[in-house]
Structure 1
């Protein structure tokens, strides 16, 4: 999609994208639009986005478009200030079936971390936005109150996580189908969250203290009395962190990413460093090299100790030329041998750019009283706890694979992108970047092209590569799994770009995850 306009949006649902685009049309900037999309996603993408979760916004204000003045807003979830004995925690397994793959998560109040979404939204609003919060919340308040027909992808996701969203009587009352006994809401059936509408209205009036120090804080703490660790002190102590983005040159472009203590941005930068910027040819050799780089990145992840939470020293070691060179040397031999997240990208005519990735995990299974909110289960996600459950450091930011990304060129062009998909986030963004920057694909082609993903020495191959390429890949990688069609498993990259030289806007939403542009 390429247009001349006041800006453009790519997001994971049509309602999310439209809420953001309407704000742009009324004169709001990219950050106003991103927040309007965020609040709408809480009703339009209910499993992927919740005020009970957290996320990141990588912002490029217009004044710093060419001089490096971007900022990363870290409002991801925080561990509680105390670790309780395992026997005192409500912490239960919940298997989730995604069709060709399944994964076990853990839910219950013992899986809940301190949410940062509300604090993050208000911090971004204070620093960067131009329209009142009441305007940005208004579309979400209206639809949460009257109800919204569930989109096909959201129905699919809800069905996949049914063991979680049918776990408690409160969640069943909201998310169960009125027509199919025992099933979650079907496509087109109406999801209404009037309590969420009321809460958003109260937040617009009273601000974030309502959530972190007031009535909502007391509600969250009371819910945690039954098997959780989050208390009033944890909520009152929560802070949004503003960080300098991670920066890496890739050919003529500069790529800005999510810095430490998150892992996704540094690992994406490492993979780009392995591959180096140069013209590439599509085909089995490129995909083999790509799979090798993914495998080596996983190996480097362990060697650099990022799983314990990254910091500047660890990232500096990971991205040092000496460390990269050692892993590049393994590329030829390695090639021969072998969630719930959503994203919004917005660019506007003032040269502002916003890449925002948010998550609620899969949800903890409980609905908070009188709120329309299901809290996160970040302490119950294996991907976020690679050293094992119950071993987290108290009062610390949880590491994340979320990787909101900006690409800047010297002539002022800018691209915002990001993805959902847990461990597939990095590989999805990586392949879109390489497709666009090195293989010469348009943004829509780059997002839509078939993908691969290497994890634990298993190469996942998405349909669409062609029989010759598929035959070559499966011969080189005996340990492989093929996937039919374009699949949710491979993430969902939503990208938006602005070229100020001719004032055109381009966006691409990923059909794998309900992508929509506006």
Structure 2
């Protein structure tokens, strides 16, 4: 085993290269468009579009490249949610490829002596790894709605993994924050640490093992991942983590059958309306679509445009608080739990919740009772009250792609924590998720672990239509702040009238039914903050950057504008096709 590891470690080659070119966070054109947080990923998507691929092909190409350049946020060791608008059919569909719990899981999976185990211990372990869904999700997307195969769409990512990419300042910074986790596992430390410390900005990182994994998938298709040598390597890494000398971590219990039995779900999108728009989001087990929809339903009863800015933002924060109280109490995998979703999405229920918004911040509210609006005799019992807000990772990635024919993809996928479990699969160069820590560790609660269950997510890839045609698409990483980033961006764009780039770049204020609201550095003490403080709002200590969103706007004149972050996460990259493609 040690010899094999040493061989794998030797494959990581490190050089120093010149600085990257200037990024373009906003671009407008007449063809296909892409917005991601990675310059190489956006270029991969554009290359596929220029070769005649559609939005689905380009989205998979971008996602595969993000797995190389943003390997701690996403990759084939994780899972995600894809929302697709099909222009020819004028309909929206979703692909749920969320990770599932191995068959060995029970509600006591994260309990010892009846008490929850330490969260950080759970994260950096084989026990945290769910059955990865990303490759199955890509396969379903390409087979059903794409025009290219794995060999074509993985080619750009294979090239980036082989040639290498530069570590950015934020890459180095976030790696440094997770050195202790990465030090646990020999393959991870060899790729991303030097002498036990984070790689420095400007370092060129090559990952030929990941290129090998992509080549095997390109050659053998989806079975190469779920039934072949890659599957065996995953199971071995989960059950016997590839630890560095002198390190220890909890092992998992995953089987080859867990991987072979994994299925993606083609689900109807969650549809709601807001001020003349049709809002299509991800259904359960993602809580993103339902929570955004409930908050928008609550906001719809206010004339926000006529309010002073601070009062409108106060109202947005309180609507988010109320929706999060319901999210925390009721939402989970619908294949395991009877969720009162019709009640939660009811406009009448929103009107009832809306009456709780006053002139002062509530700070903590109880879940409502959507069952009166449910009209479902199969759910006679009310669940327990909402539990205390659980810690949730903020490290994910989102991308947006459209093509010249009008197809649109809004795609969020993740490993959960920054660097997932920390376990890099020996010989294959990709990191495994820690998605099982998205379950609530103790019950009774709808979101406790169970065999085969998908943990509740906050991912909220969203496509918004107006008059039956795409108006804009938006999504973000950020754990539970994903929901508030999507909600606030819609509020900024629709209600405050901001152009999408300004809506994205505006300071983010994230209320998730806590005693204090999450904000970004520089917000406390600002005029905007002081105005909200007069309503009684308080800010969490230690402000941190919230999300790294990407959007596409479909303009009335037929052009498209791709929009990525103008300042967060090192600035994103938006690209559009040139005329003639």
Q: Report if TM-score (shorter chain) is over 0.5.
A: yes
Asked if 2 retains the 8 angstrom alpha-carbon contact of 1:289 and 1:335, the reply is no
Greater Rg over alpha carbons, structure: 2
Deviation digits for residues 338-380 of structure 1 (CA, Å, limit 9, x no counterpart)? 8221000011220100000000112112221211011101113
Asked if 1 retains the 8 angstrom alpha-carbon contact of 2:179 and 2:196, the reply is no
The structural deviation recorded for 1:205 is 0.8
Asked if 2 retains the 8 angstrom alpha-carbon contact of 1:356 and 1:418, the reply is yes
In the alignment, the residues of structure 2 paired with residue 337 and residue 93 of structure 1 have an alpha-carbon distance, to the nearest angstrom, of: 27
1:459 has 2:517 as partner: yes
Partner of 2:350: 324
The structural deviation recorded for 1:47 is 0.5
Q: Which of the numbers 106, 111, 131 marks the counterpart of 1:114?
A: 131
1:147 has 2:164 as partner: yes
The structural deviation recorded for 1:381 is 4.0
Q: Which of the numbers 169, 178, 187 marks the counterpart of 1:170?
A: 187
The structural deviation recorded for 1:431 is 0.8
1:81 has 2:138 as partner: no
Asked if 2 retains the 8 angstrom alpha-carbon contact of 1:219 and 1:369, the reply is yes
In the alignment, the residues of structure 1 paired with residue 443 and residue 30 of structure 2 have an alpha-carbon distance, to the nearest angstrom, of: 44
Partner of 1:474: 533
In the alignment, the residues of structure 2 paired with residue 369 and residue 389 of structure 1 have an alpha-carbon distance, to the nearest angstrom, of: 35
The structural deviation recorded for 1:63 is 1.2
Q: How many residues align?
A: 498
The structural deviation recorded for 1:229 is 2.1
Task: Give unpaired runs (5+ residues) of structure 1.
Answer: 96-103
- The verdict on how the C-alpha distance between 1:312 and 1:37 changes in structure 2, with shifts beyond 3 A counting, is farther
Write the mapping of 1:171-190 to structure 2, written as runs, cut at 5 A.
171-177=188-194, 181-190=195-204
The structural deviation recorded for 1:321 is 2.9
Matched position secondary structure for 1:346: strand
1:435 has 2:457 as partner: no
Task: Give unpaired runs (5+ residues) of structure 2.
Answer: 1-25, 241-250, 365-393, 576-581
- The verdict on how the C-alpha distance between 1:420 and 1:282 changes in structure 2, with shifts beyond 3 A counting, is farther
Partner of 1:263: 287
Q: Which of the numbers 238, 241, 252 marks the counterpart of 1:228?
A: 252
Partner of 2:300: 276
- The verdict on how the C-alpha distance between 1:229 and 1:438 changes in structure 2, with shifts beyond 3 A counting, is same
More helix by share: 1
Asked if 2 retains the 8 angstrom alpha-carbon contact of 1:308 and 1:387, the reply is no
- The verdict on how the C-alpha distance between 1:312 and 1:404 changes in structure 2, with shifts beyond 3 A counting, is farther
Bigger drift between 451-460 and 7-16 goes to: 451-460
Write the mapping of 1:294-313 to structure 2, written as runs, cut at 5 A.
294-303=320-329, 305-307=330-332, 313=339
Deviation digits for residues 47-80 of structure 1 (CA, Å, limit 9, x no counterpart)? 0111100001100011133xxx210000110111
In the alignment, the residues of structure 1 paired with residue 493 and residue 405 of structure 2 have an alpha-carbon distance, to the nearest angstrom, of: 24
Write the mapping of 1:503-518 to structure 2, written as runs, cut at 5 A.
503-510=558-565, 511-513=567-569, 514-518=571-575
1:218 has 2:236 as partner: no
- The verdict on how the C-alpha distance between 1:225 and 1:451 changes in structure 2, with shifts beyond 3 A counting, is closer
In the alignment, the residues of structure 1 paired with residue 568 and residue 460 of structure 2 have an alpha-carbon distance, to the nearest angstrom, of: 18
Bigger drift between 9-18 and 149-158 goes to: 149-158
Partner of 2:208: 194
In the alignment, the residues of structure 2 paired with residue 382 and residue 398 of structure 1 have an alpha-carbon distance, to the nearest angstrom, of: 5
Matched position secondary structure for 1:497: strand
In the alignment, the residues of structure 2 paired with residue 22 and residue 483 of structure 1 have an alpha-carbon distance, to the nearest angstrom, of: 41
TM-score in terms of structure 2 length: 0.80
- The verdict on how the C-alpha distance between 1:50 and 1:428 changes in structure 2, with shifts beyond 3 A counting, is same
Q: Which of the numbers 165, 171, 177 marks the counterpart of 1:160?
A: 177
The structural deviation recorded for 1:387 is 6.5
Deviation digits for residues 235-284 of structure 1 (CA, Å, limit 9, x no counterpart)? 11101100110011111210000012221110111111110175525621
In the alignment, the residues of structure 1 paired with residue 165 and residue 149 of structure 2 have an alpha-carbon distance, to the nearest angstrom, of: 24
The structural deviation recorded for 1:458 is 0.7
